[in-house]
Structure 1
Protein backbone atom coordinates (compact mmCIF):
# COMPACT_ATOMS: atom_id res chain seq x y z
CA UNK A 1 0.00 0.00 0.00
CA UNK A 2 2.80 2.35 0.95
CA UNK A 3 4.55 1.45 -2.28
CA UNK A 4 1.40 2.27 -4.23
CA UNK A 5 1.04 5.63 -2.49
CA UNK A 6 4.69 6.37 -3.14
CA UNK A 7 4.28 5.61 -6.83
CA UNK A 8 1.15 7.73 -6.94
CA UNK A 9 2.96 10.63 -5.24
CA UNK A 10 5.84 10.38 -7.70
CA UNK A 11 3.39 10.37 -10.59
CA UNK A 12 1.63 13.49 -9.25
CA UNK A 13 4.95 15.26 -8.76
CA UNK A 14 6.03 14.42 -12.30
CA UNK A 15 2.69 15.66 -13.61
CA UNK A 16 3.02 18.93 -11.71
CA UNK A 17 6.58 19.41 -12.95
CA UNK A 18 5.47 18.75 -16.50
CA UNK A 19 2.56 21.14 -16.10
CA UNK A 20 4.79 23.87 -14.70
CA UNK A 21 7.24 23.34 -17.50
CA UNK A 22 4.46 23.65 -20.02
CA UNK A 23 3.14 26.85 -18.38
CA UNK A 24 6.61 28.35 -18.37
CA UNK A 25 6.99 27.57 -22.03
CA UNK A 26 3.64 29.23 -22.83
CA UNK A 27 4.60 32.24 -20.73
CA UNK A 28 7.91 32.58 -22.58
CA UNK A 29 6.11 32.31 -25.92
CA UNK A 30 3.60 34.97 -24.83
CA UNK A 31 6.36 37.27 -23.67
CA UNK A 32 8.26 36.64 -26.88
CA UNK A 33 5.20 37.44 -28.97
CA UNK A 34 4.64 40.57 -26.94
CA UNK A 35 8.21 41.71 -27.46
CA UNK A 36 8.26 40.90 -31.15
CA UNK A 37 4.95 42.62 -31.86
CA UNK A 38 5.73 45.88 -33.66
CA UNK A 39 4.78 49.03 -31.84
CA UNK A 40 2.49 51.28 -33.78
CA UNK A 41 3.81 54.82 -33.64
CA UNK A 42 1.31 57.54 -32.90
CA UNK A 43 1.77 60.24 -35.48
CA UNK A 44 2.82 63.52 -33.95
CA UNK A 45 0.42 66.37 -34.31
CA UNK A 46 1.35 68.51 -37.24
CA UNK A 47 2.40 72.00 -36.25
CA UNK A 48 0.28 74.72 -37.68
CA UNK A 49 2.18 76.55 -40.35
CA UNK A 50 2.79 80.19 -39.52
CA UNK A 51 1.06 82.58 -41.88
CA UNK A 52 3.42 83.81 -44.54
CA UNK A 53 4.23 87.48 -44.25
CA UNK A 54 3.91 89.15 -47.60
CA UNK A 55 5.82 92.40 -47.87
CA UNK A 56 4.13 95.08 -49.89
CA UNK A 57 6.35 96.12 -52.74
CA UNK A 58 5.99 99.74 -53.77
CA UNK A 59 5.82 100.40 -57.46
CA UNK A 60 8.77 102.26 -58.91
CA UNK A 61 8.10 105.98 -59.12
CA UNK A 62 8.79 107.47 -62.57
CA UNK A 63 11.76 109.89 -62.52
CA UNK A 64 9.66 112.83 -63.71
CA UNK A 65 7.04 112.32 -61.00
CA UNK A 66 9.75 112.06 -58.36
CA UNK A 67 11.45 115.22 -59.60
CA UNK A 68 8.17 117.16 -59.41
CA UNK A 69 7.66 115.97 -55.83
CA UNK A 70 11.15 117.14 -54.90
CA UNK A 71 10.73 120.48 -56.63
CA UNK A 72 7.44 121.17 -54.83
CA UNK A 73 9.01 120.51 -51.44
CA UNK A 74 12.29 122.27 -52.18
CA UNK A 75 10.37 125.42 -53.12
CA UNK A 76 9.04 125.63 -49.55
CA UNK A 77 12.41 124.73 -48.05
CA UNK A 78 14.41 127.29 -50.05
CA UNK A 79 11.92 130.16 -49.71
CA UNK A 80 11.28 129.70 -46.00
CA UNK A 81 14.95 129.13 -45.22
CA UNK A 82 15.74 132.61 -46.57
CA UNK A 83 12.98 134.08 -44.40
CA UNK A 84 14.17 132.13 -41.36
CA UNK A 85 17.71 133.41 -41.83
CA UNK A 86 16.40 136.98 -41.70
CA UNK A 87 14.22 136.05 -38.73
CA UNK A 88 17.25 134.77 -36.85
CA UNK A 89 19.28 137.85 -37.73
CA UNK A 90 16.54 140.04 -36.26
CA UNK A 91 16.56 137.96 -33.09
CA UNK A 92 20.29 138.52 -32.67
CA UNK A 93 19.81 142.26 -33.14
CA UNK A 94 17.07 142.38 -30.49
CA UNK A 95 19.06 140.14 -28.16
CA UNK A 96 22.05 142.49 -28.26
CA UNK A 97 19.93 145.39 -27.00
CA UNK A 98 18.11 143.37 -24.33
CA UNK A 99 20.90 143.44 -21.78
CA UNK A 100 20.79 139.64 -21.40
CA UNK A 101 23.82 138.92 -23.57
CA UNK A 102 25.52 136.52 -21.14
CA UNK A 103 22.32 135.09 -19.66
CA UNK A 104 21.03 131.67 -20.70
CA UNK A 105 17.48 131.94 -21.98
CA UNK A 106 14.97 129.29 -22.95
CA UNK A 107 11.46 128.93 -24.25
CA UNK A 108 10.31 126.87 -21.29
CA UNK A 109 7.80 127.82 -18.58
CA UNK A 110 4.88 130.23 -18.37
CA UNK A 111 7.11 133.25 -18.94
CA UNK A 112 9.83 132.09 -21.36
CA UNK A 113 13.02 134.12 -21.51
CA UNK A 114 12.87 134.36 -25.30
CA UNK A 115 9.38 135.86 -25.39
CA UNK A 116 10.47 139.45 -26.11
CA UNK A 117 12.95 138.32 -28.77
CA UNK A 118 10.28 136.30 -30.58
CA UNK A 119 7.73 139.11 -30.38
CA UNK A 120 10.14 141.54 -32.05
CA UNK A 121 11.10 138.97 -34.68
CA UNK A 122 7.41 138.34 -35.38
CA UNK A 123 6.90 142.08 -36.00
CA UNK A 124 9.80 142.05 -38.45
CA UNK A 125 8.28 139.02 -40.20
CA UNK A 126 4.89 140.69 -40.57
CA UNK A 127 6.33 144.00 -41.79
CA UNK A 128 8.70 142.49 -44.34
CA UNK A 129 6.85 139.42 -45.60
CA UNK A 130 3.28 139.79 -44.32
CA UNK A 131 3.69 136.36 -42.81
CA UNK A 132 3.20 134.92 -39.34
CA UNK A 133 5.21 132.42 -37.35
CA UNK A 134 2.20 130.09 -37.54
CA UNK A 135 2.44 130.13 -41.33
CA UNK A 136 6.11 129.22 -41.10
CA UNK A 137 5.13 126.35 -38.83
CA UNK A 138 2.48 125.13 -41.28
CA UNK A 139 5.01 125.16 -44.10
CA UNK A 140 7.51 123.30 -41.95
CA UNK A 141 4.98 120.56 -41.22
CA UNK A 142 4.08 120.31 -44.91
CA UNK A 143 7.73 120.09 -45.94
CA UNK A 144 8.28 117.42 -43.31
CA UNK A 145 5.46 115.31 -44.73
CA UNK A 146 6.82 115.74 -48.24
CA UNK A 147 10.28 114.80 -47.02
CA UNK A 148 8.86 111.52 -45.69
CA UNK A 149 7.30 110.79 -49.09
CA UNK A 150 10.54 111.57 -50.89
CA UNK A 151 12.65 109.48 -48.52
CA UNK A 152 10.27 106.52 -48.89
CA UNK A 153 9.84 106.68 -52.66
CA UNK A 154 10.88 103.59 -54.62
CA UNK A 155 13.25 104.92 -57.25
CA UNK A 156 15.98 103.35 -59.36
CA UNK A 157 17.06 106.16 -61.67
CA UNK A 158 20.64 107.16 -60.86
CA UNK A 159 19.97 110.87 -61.18
CA UNK A 160 16.87 110.64 -58.99
CA UNK A 161 18.87 108.84 -56.31
CA UNK A 162 21.47 111.62 -56.35
CA UNK A 163 18.78 114.31 -56.22
CA UNK A 164 17.19 112.64 -53.21
CA UNK A 165 20.51 112.46 -51.38
CA UNK A 166 21.16 116.18 -51.89
CA UNK A 167 17.57 117.09 -51.06
CA UNK A 168 17.67 115.19 -47.78
CA UNK A 169 20.82 117.05 -46.76
CA UNK A 170 19.11 120.34 -47.63
CA UNK A 171 15.95 119.46 -45.70
CA UNK A 172 17.95 118.37 -42.66
CA UNK A 173 19.66 121.76 -42.36
CA UNK A 174 16.41 123.62 -43.06
CA UNK A 175 14.78 121.67 -40.24
CA UNK A 176 17.62 122.55 -37.87
CA UNK A 177 17.35 126.21 -38.86
CA UNK A 178 13.60 126.30 -38.27
CA UNK A 179 13.84 124.66 -34.84
CA UNK A 180 16.71 126.95 -33.82
CA UNK A 181 15.25 130.35 -34.70
CA UNK A 182 11.66 129.63 -33.66
CA UNK A 183 12.86 128.78 -30.16
CA UNK A 184 16.07 130.73 -29.46
CA UNK A 185 17.91 129.51 -26.39
CA UNK A 186 21.27 129.57 -24.64
CA UNK A 187 23.44 132.67 -24.59
CA UNK A 188 23.66 135.26 -27.33
CA UNK A 189 27.15 134.04 -28.21
CA UNK A 190 26.18 130.36 -28.48
CA UNK A 191 23.08 131.20 -30.50
CA UNK A 192 25.01 133.47 -32.88
CA UNK A 193 27.67 130.83 -33.51
CA UNK A 194 25.07 128.15 -34.17
CA UNK A 195 23.08 130.46 -36.44
CA UNK A 196 26.19 131.28 -38.50
CA UNK A 197 27.18 127.62 -38.79
CA UNK A 198 23.71 126.63 -39.98
CA UNK A 199 23.79 129.45 -42.53
CA UNK A 200 27.08 128.23 -44.02
CA UNK A 201 25.89 124.62 -44.08
CA UNK A 202 22.65 125.60 -45.77
CA UNK A 203 24.46 127.53 -48.51
CA UNK A 204 26.66 124.52 -49.27
CA UNK A 205 23.69 122.13 -49.25
CA UNK A 206 21.68 124.43 -51.51
CA UNK A 207 24.50 124.60 -54.07
CA UNK A 208 24.86 120.80 -54.03
CA UNK A 209 21.12 120.36 -54.46
CA UNK A 210 20.88 122.78 -57.39
CA UNK A 211 23.84 121.04 -59.07
CA UNK A 212 22.11 117.66 -58.75
CA UNK A 213 19.19 118.95 -60.82
CA UNK A 214 21.34 119.89 -63.81
Structure 2
Protein backbone atom coordinates (compact mmCIF):
# COMPACT_ATOMS: atom_id res chain seq x y z
CA UNK A 1 0.00 0.00 0.00
CA UNK A 2 2.83 2.39 0.81
CA UNK A 3 4.18 1.94 -2.74
CA UNK A 4 0.79 2.99 -4.10
CA UNK A 5 0.88 6.02 -1.81
CA UNK A 6 4.01 7.27 -3.56
CA UNK A 7 2.39 7.50 -7.01
CA UNK A 8 0.35 10.76 -6.91
CA UNK A 9 3.41 13.07 -6.65
CA UNK A 10 5.12 11.22 -9.51
CA UNK A 11 3.22 9.33 -12.18
CA UNK A 12 -0.17 10.98 -11.65
CA UNK A 13 1.56 14.31 -12.28
CA UNK A 14 3.38 12.94 -15.35
CA UNK A 15 0.03 11.93 -16.80
CA UNK A 16 -1.43 15.36 -16.17
CA UNK A 17 1.41 17.18 -17.93
CA UNK A 18 0.49 15.53 -21.24
CA UNK A 19 -3.24 16.34 -21.01
CA UNK A 20 -5.34 19.40 -21.75
CA UNK A 21 -5.11 21.60 -18.64
CA UNK A 22 -6.65 24.75 -20.10
CA UNK A 23 -9.25 26.65 -18.10
CA UNK A 24 -9.11 29.72 -20.32
CA UNK A 25 -7.11 30.70 -23.41
CA UNK A 26 -4.48 32.24 -21.13
CA UNK A 27 -4.39 29.94 -18.12
CA UNK A 28 -3.49 26.29 -17.58
CA UNK A 29 -3.91 24.31 -14.39
CA UNK A 30 -0.53 23.10 -13.09
CA UNK A 31 -0.52 19.32 -13.26
CA UNK A 32 0.82 19.01 -9.71
CA UNK A 33 -2.09 21.06 -8.35
CA UNK A 34 -4.42 18.08 -8.84
CA UNK A 35 -2.97 16.73 -5.60
CA UNK A 36 -5.19 19.25 -3.81
CA UNK A 37 -8.10 16.91 -4.56
CA UNK A 38 -6.34 14.29 -2.44
CA UNK A 39 -6.08 16.66 0.52
CA UNK A 40 -9.68 17.83 0.12
CA UNK A 41 -11.01 14.28 -0.10
CA UNK A 42 -9.03 13.28 3.01
CA UNK A 43 -10.52 16.16 5.02
CA UNK A 44 -14.06 15.52 3.78
CA UNK A 45 -13.75 11.75 4.26
CA UNK A 46 -12.55 12.08 7.85
CA UNK A 47 -15.43 14.44 8.66
CA UNK A 48 -18.01 12.09 7.10
CA UNK A 49 -16.39 9.10 8.79
CA UNK A 50 -16.50 10.67 12.26
CA UNK A 51 -19.88 12.39 12.00
CA UNK A 52 -21.93 9.91 9.97
CA UNK A 53 -20.25 6.55 9.47
CA UNK A 54 -19.05 5.85 13.03
CA UNK A 55 -22.41 6.57 14.73
CA UNK A 56 -24.22 4.41 12.17
CA UNK A 57 -21.68 1.58 12.39
CA UNK A 58 -21.72 1.80 16.21
CA UNK A 59 -25.43 0.97 16.23
CA UNK A 60 -24.83 -2.10 14.08
CA UNK A 61 -21.61 -3.48 15.57
CA UNK A 62 -22.00 -2.22 19.15
CA UNK A 63 -18.33 -1.21 19.07
CA UNK A 64 -17.30 2.23 20.39
CA UNK A 65 -15.26 2.89 17.25
CA UNK A 66 -17.91 1.59 14.84
CA UNK A 67 -15.49 -0.70 13.05
CA UNK A 68 -12.17 -2.07 14.27
CA UNK A 69 -8.85 -0.46 13.49
CA UNK A 70 -7.85 -3.31 11.19
CA UNK A 71 -11.16 -3.07 9.33
CA UNK A 72 -10.47 0.61 8.78
CA UNK A 73 -6.97 -0.10 7.49
CA UNK A 74 -8.24 -2.90 5.25
CA UNK A 75 -10.93 -0.65 3.77
CA UNK A 76 -8.26 1.88 2.86
CA UNK A 77 -6.11 -0.78 1.22
CA UNK A 78 -9.05 -1.97 -0.88
CA UNK A 79 -9.93 1.58 -1.96
CA UNK A 80 -6.29 2.20 -2.91
CA UNK A 81 -6.46 -0.87 -5.15
CA UNK A 82 -9.55 0.56 -6.84
CA UNK A 83 -7.72 3.87 -7.28
CA UNK A 84 -4.91 2.12 -9.18
CA UNK A 85 -7.45 0.29 -11.34
CA UNK A 86 -9.13 3.57 -12.23
CA UNK A 87 -5.72 5.10 -12.96
CA UNK A 88 -4.99 2.22 -15.34
CA UNK A 89 -8.32 2.66 -17.15
CA UNK A 90 -7.79 6.42 -17.50
CA UNK A 91 -4.30 5.77 -18.87
CA UNK A 92 -5.76 3.35 -21.43
CA UNK A 93 -8.13 6.13 -22.52
CA UNK A 94 -5.24 8.61 -22.67
CA UNK A 95 -3.16 6.27 -24.82
CA UNK A 96 -6.10 5.62 -27.15
CA UNK A 97 -6.70 9.36 -27.53
CA UNK A 98 -3.08 10.13 -28.41
CA UNK A 99 -3.02 7.20 -30.83
CA UNK A 100 -6.21 8.36 -32.57
CA UNK A 101 -4.71 11.85 -32.88
CA UNK A 102 -1.39 10.56 -34.21
CA UNK A 103 0.58 11.93 -31.26
CA UNK A 104 2.33 8.74 -30.14
CA UNK A 105 5.77 9.96 -31.17
CA UNK A 106 5.18 13.56 -30.12
CA UNK A 107 5.76 13.35 -26.35
CA UNK A 108 5.64 17.11 -25.79
CA UNK A 109 2.28 17.58 -27.51
CA UNK A 110 -0.87 18.23 -25.49
CA UNK A 111 -3.37 15.43 -25.89
CA UNK A 112 -7.00 16.57 -26.44
CA UNK A 113 -8.19 14.88 -23.27
CA UNK A 114 -9.14 16.91 -20.21
CA UNK A 115 -6.89 16.66 -17.18
CA UNK A 116 -10.05 16.44 -15.07
CA UNK A 117 -10.21 12.76 -15.98
CA UNK A 118 -7.53 12.34 -13.32
CA UNK A 119 -9.80 13.61 -10.54
CA UNK A 120 -11.51 10.25 -9.73
CA UNK A 121 -8.25 8.41 -9.08
CA UNK A 122 -6.98 11.28 -6.93
CA UNK A 123 -10.21 11.56 -4.94
CA UNK A 124 -10.48 7.81 -4.36
CA UNK A 125 -6.83 7.72 -3.35
CA UNK A 126 -7.50 10.49 -0.83
CA UNK A 127 -10.44 8.57 0.64
CA UNK A 128 -8.24 5.48 0.95
CA UNK A 129 -5.62 7.50 2.80
CA UNK A 130 -8.24 8.77 5.24
CA UNK A 131 -8.93 5.17 6.18
CA UNK A 132 -5.43 3.72 6.02
CA UNK A 133 -3.19 6.47 7.39
CA UNK A 134 -5.47 7.44 10.27
CA UNK A 135 -6.14 3.77 10.98
CA UNK A 136 -2.43 3.00 11.13
CA UNK A 137 -1.77 5.95 13.41
CA UNK A 138 -4.49 4.84 15.80
CA UNK A 139 -3.38 1.21 15.61
CA UNK A 140 0.26 1.87 16.47
CA UNK A 141 -0.73 4.32 19.20
CA UNK A 142 -3.45 2.19 20.77
CA UNK A 143 -2.10 -1.34 20.45
CA UNK A 144 1.50 -0.98 21.63
CA UNK A 145 2.47 -0.70 25.31
CA UNK A 146 2.39 2.86 26.64
CA UNK A 147 6.16 3.01 27.03
CA UNK A 148 6.65 2.06 23.35
CA UNK A 149 4.11 4.40 21.75
CA UNK A 150 6.77 6.70 20.31
CA UNK A 151 8.39 3.65 18.71
CA UNK A 152 5.02 2.59 17.35
CA UNK A 153 4.49 5.93 15.63
CA UNK A 154 8.01 5.68 14.21
CA UNK A 155 7.15 2.28 12.78
CA UNK A 156 4.05 3.79 11.19
CA UNK A 157 6.14 6.44 9.45
CA UNK A 158 8.77 3.89 8.43
CA UNK A 159 6.13 1.96 6.48
CA UNK A 160 5.70 4.89 4.09
CA UNK A 161 9.45 5.46 3.98
CA UNK A 162 10.01 1.89 2.81
CA UNK A 163 7.13 2.28 0.36
CA UNK A 164 8.71 5.38 -1.16
CA UNK A 165 12.01 3.53 -1.49
CA UNK A 166 10.39 0.58 -3.24
CA UNK A 167 8.46 2.96 -5.49
CA UNK A 168 11.71 4.69 -6.43
CA UNK A 169 13.23 1.33 -7.36
CA UNK A 170 10.23 0.41 -9.51
CA UNK A 171 10.22 3.80 -11.23
CA UNK A 172 13.98 3.55 -11.79
CA UNK A 173 13.38 0.30 -13.66
CA UNK A 174 10.94 1.99 -16.05
CA UNK A 175 12.29 5.55 -16.03
CA UNK A 176 13.93 5.28 -19.47
CA UNK A 177 10.58 4.59 -21.09
CA UNK A 178 8.94 7.38 -19.09
CA UNK A 179 11.69 9.89 -19.79
CA UNK A 180 11.91 9.15 -23.51
CA UNK A 181 8.21 9.08 -24.34
CA UNK A 182 5.37 8.68 -21.85
CA UNK A 183 3.07 7.78 -24.73
CA UNK A 184 5.02 4.56 -25.24
CA UNK A 185 5.68 3.82 -21.57
CA UNK A 186 2.40 1.96 -20.99
CA UNK A 187 1.82 3.27 -17.50
CA UNK A 188 -1.41 1.28 -17.53
CA UNK A 189 0.65 -1.91 -17.17
CA UNK A 190 2.45 -0.38 -14.20
CA UNK A 191 -0.83 0.65 -12.58
CA UNK A 192 -2.28 -2.82 -13.11
CA UNK A 193 0.86 -4.26 -11.51
CA UNK A 194 0.45 -2.00 -8.47
CA UNK A 195 -3.25 -2.86 -8.25
CA UNK A 196 -2.44 -6.58 -8.37
CA UNK A 197 0.29 -6.32 -5.74
CA UNK A 198 -1.91 -4.23 -3.48
CA UNK A 199 -4.79 -6.68 -3.89
CA UNK A 200 -2.48 -9.57 -2.99
CA UNK A 201 -1.30 -7.70 0.11
CA UNK A 202 -4.93 -6.95 0.97
CA UNK A 203 -5.78 -10.66 0.87
CA UNK A 204 -2.77 -11.46 3.07
CA UNK A 205 -3.80 -8.65 5.40
CA UNK A 206 -7.28 -10.16 5.75
CA UNK A 207 -5.75 -13.54 6.57
CA UNK A 208 -3.57 -12.22 9.38
CA UNK A 209 -6.14 -9.70 10.64
CA UNK A 210 -8.61 -12.50 11.38
CA UNK A 211 -6.28 -13.94 13.99
CA UNK A 212 -5.28 -10.66 15.62
CA UNK A 213 -6.31 -10.20 19.26
CA UNK A 214 -6.70 -6.58 20.33
CA UNK A 215 -4.96 -5.51 23.51
CA UNK A 216 -7.84 -3.19 24.46
CA UNK A 217 -11.62 -3.51 24.44
CA UNK A 218 -12.16 -0.01 23.08
CA UNK A 219 -11.42 -0.86 19.44
TM-score (norm: length of structure 2): 0.38
- The structure where helix makes up a greater share of residues is 2
Higher strand share: 2
